Structure 1
């Protein structure tokens, strides 16, 4: 297993899975040359048995390997809720494999030999996708934490506000005065750090289904 370390906790890492040691070494060297750390595995089972780093990352995955195929590993990771973006790199691909991989969420499906820059561009896109996913997940967790500070009444007001209800309708629905609605609404907006109703709506749609 080859590991390059930069000393930066959130530096990106490419996780290379290929049963050919020479291919792993070459990919590691190329990725390290542009500042992307690498971790390598020779099989899909090794990946499943490992604890993957909690950093912006992507998988560089061969299709045909002893044991689990790359497509099998893709499906298993998805079933475990692991959504690390995948770039397939294979010498044995065909259109059907490519379609299956992309439908299952792969960022790219490349066939060997491939230009270094084409490969690096695909990895960069995959890592950027993971950075965005992780940022959205963190923002959602933070918003849920803010939601949990709301009183039951403020939560009711929030749901009605994001549904488009005006203060008068909210007052009628909840059986309270408009002045009380305005007070709850103001407190709710402050607690949620909502800059506007459109911002609040965006936050609302980032919530898990059990809250919405």
Structure 2
């Protein structure tokens, strides 16, 4: 399902939401309303059912009921955080209070909405969650691309890069060679290969790129 785009513009994929709630009527009515708003929605009757999904992070937002039998919403949030697999979460609840709300927000939730809530408020929170998910995917894609570039380097080339990061003021071929026990000419050779493989033009660009790896 895609959102229609103006003529001449590419279509964009609709945000994909997960709705976890043990109430059949809420799953049915809320998922219907969200689909009418242009979202794709997958529904789950329990936390355990959601944990059975292959890739929780593929969802742009998780709309999560707090008061479910078995594993409740907060427990599911904790489990997803422990796995590093929590999409942005909007809690909906008819049972939670201030302590539960505080715990949810500390765990990274976008909001903790009490039933009955106004649908426009929920939509606004979902849109905020989708923006966070999109930014996270862009950041993760950039990190993967950076890691792939550095994976092209040999062990010796990585040694040289790490030395230049550790001591930028001593990054000349002579100084790096002295530290690693190799000739300046050999360092020059490796340096040229490093710049070529990483697609940078100078040592300053190389050091800046390497620091982006964290």
Superposed pair shares fold, TM > 0.5: yes
Name 1:176's counterpart in structure 2: 182
- Are the structure 2 counterparts of residues 71 and 56 from structure 1 closer, same or farther at C-alpha, using a change threshold of 3 Å? closer
Matches within 5 A, 1:1-212: 5-6=1-2, 11-52=14-55, 55-165=58-168, 166-167=171-172, 168-194=174-200, 196=205, 197-202=207-212, 204-205=213-214
Asked if 1 retains the 8 angstrom alpha-carbon contact of 2:19 and 2:41, the reply is yes
- Deviates most, 131-140 or 189-198: 189-198
Counterpart-to-counterpart distance in 2, 1:126 and 1:105: 11
Counterpart-to-counterpart distance in 2, 1:169 and 1:112: 66
Asked if 2 retains the 8 angstrom alpha-carbon contact of 1:12 and 1:55, the reply is no
Per the normalisation by structure 1, the TM-score is 0.81
Give, in angstroms, the shift of residue 133 of structure 1.
1.9
Counterpart-to-counterpart distance in 1, 2:33 and 2:186: 63
Q: What are structure 1's unaligned runs of at least 5 residues? A: 206-212
Larger Rg: 2
What is the alpha-carbon root mean square deviation over aligned residues?
Answer: 2.5
Asked if 2 retains the 8 angstrom alpha-carbon contact of 1:10 and 1:55, the reply is no
Match of 2:129, SS state, is helix
Cα offsets for 1:188-209 (capped at 9, x unmatched)? 233123472323321x21xxxx
Match of 1:50, SS state, is coil
Counterpart-to-counterpart distance in 2, 1:11 and 1:54: 15
Q: What are structure 2's unaligned runs of at least 5 residues? A: 4-10
Match of 1:124, SS state, is helix
- Deviates most, 58-67 or 192-201: 192-201
Counterpart-to-counterpart distance in 2, 1:30 and 1:41: 16
| Bigger RCO of structures 1 and 2 (CA < 8 A, at least 6 apart) | 1
